[in-house]
Amino acid sequence: MHTGGTKPGRAVGDAFVAVEAGDEAAFTRAVEAHRHELQVHCYRMLGSFEDSEDLVQETFLRAWRKRESFQGRSTFRAWLYRIATNACLDFLDSHLRHPRNPDPAHVARPIGSALPQAEIPWLQPYPDRLLDLAAPVDAEPDSEVVARETIELAYLAAIQHLPPRQRAVLILRDVLGWPASETAALLESSVASVNSALQRARATLKQHLPERRLDWAPTSDPSEEERAVLHRYMDATERADLNGLAALLREDARFTMPPEPAWYEGRDAIIASWAPSLVGPNALGNLKHLVTSANRQPAVAAYVRAGDGGDYVPLGLDVLRIEGGVVVEVTSFAPRLFPAFGLPPTL
């Protein structure tokens, strides 16, 4: 992305006029046009949907307080990205977060280079319905700010292993396409330091991504094959069909439940962990599911009803990674973000 362009454009002009006039309502309209893409940016930096909402609000407050620093020399959008990035870095400085060592008690085989999402207890999913709103309002070359390969849960979990400034450099350079000179200016650093940080960030990222990560198709939406597998997954779960679920899982599949530290690797270990909830005296009850999507991955919202009467209430959100017609990873989240996904409170 070339963020420093010399043609102001309408959005820049409107914002500049609003700054000069001190028109808070006009300024608010100008920043609101960028809300969704800025929240995606903050989400990549933080890994938490709820924190990203808060940081966008903080970005807008800072933008208004610092409005006179916008002189129209760069795009208004680039100016907002600078403020959002620094707001996230300040947040990370004051909220120290370190990936933890997950409980490996349920591992069925030695772990390879990629480590589980359970290491990132603050990780939350991002609704696709909001990602769809995140395309920039300006017709700029980097309009694909939510490309699947930079928003999937495995990528989000992996970049949380980077120190905050390295994370910022990686996102600005490799995701948003900022030139090294502009990235250095934002971070008040040198081009050499930025290039060095980018090299280190890429090397660390590679260690924490799944081995087949480079083979993933760079598409925006779940494929027909993925949707078919998702429906079979829902059907087998509702029927408490453990054999049907086992048939959908790759032998080395993984199951995690952020923020819980436990994680399960291997088909047999996963089925053993699910069995008590689906069959037997401690089974949860009747289940129903709704199809949704998160992080450009197929997902399913689960509802449960105990006994034969009453409403189905939210149980959890499963986000699936599917390769070659089988499930290779299930990341299960608590239902607290159902409203953000536009999901009903009961069925």
Q: CA-CA distances (angstroms) from residue 5 to 22, 72, 338?
A: 24, 10, 40
> What pLDDT, on a 0 to 100 scale, did the predictor assign at position 3?
38
**Centroid of chain to Cα 318:** 14
> What pLDDT, on a 0 to 100 scale, did the predictor assign at position 219?
53
- φ/ψ of 180, rounded to 5, equals -60, -35
> What pLDDT, on a 0 to 100 scale, did the predictor assign at position 1?
35
pLDDT (tens, 9 = 90+) of the chain, 347 residues, equals 333 333 334 455 566 676 666 778 888 888 999 999 999 999 999 999 999 999 999 999 999 999 888 876 778 888 999 999 999 999 999 988 877 765 554 544 434 334 556 688 999 999 999 998 987 655 454 445 567 788 999 999 999 999 999 999 999 999 999 999 999 999 999 999 999 999 999 999 988 887 665 554 445 566 788 889 999 999 999 999 999 999 999 999 999 999 988 788 899 999 999 999 999 999 999 999 999 999 999 999 999 997 777 899 999 999 999 988 999 999 999 999 999 999 999 99
Question: Could you tell me if 172 and 85 are in contact, meaning their C-beta atoms sit under 8 angstroms apart?
Answer: yes
- Give the pTM: 0.88
Question: Could you tell me if 115 and 107 are in contact, meaning their C-beta atoms sit under 8 angstroms apart?
Answer: no
> What pLDDT, on a 0 to 100 scale, did the predictor assign at position 210?
76
Domains of the chain: 1-96 (1.10.1740.10), 224-341 (3.10.450.50)
Name the helix (H) or strand (E) containing 264: strand 262-265
Q: At residue 239, what is the residue type? A: R
Q: At residue 123, what is the residue type? A: L
CA distance 263 to 118: 6
> What pLDDT, on a 0 to 100 scale, did the predictor assign at position 255?
93
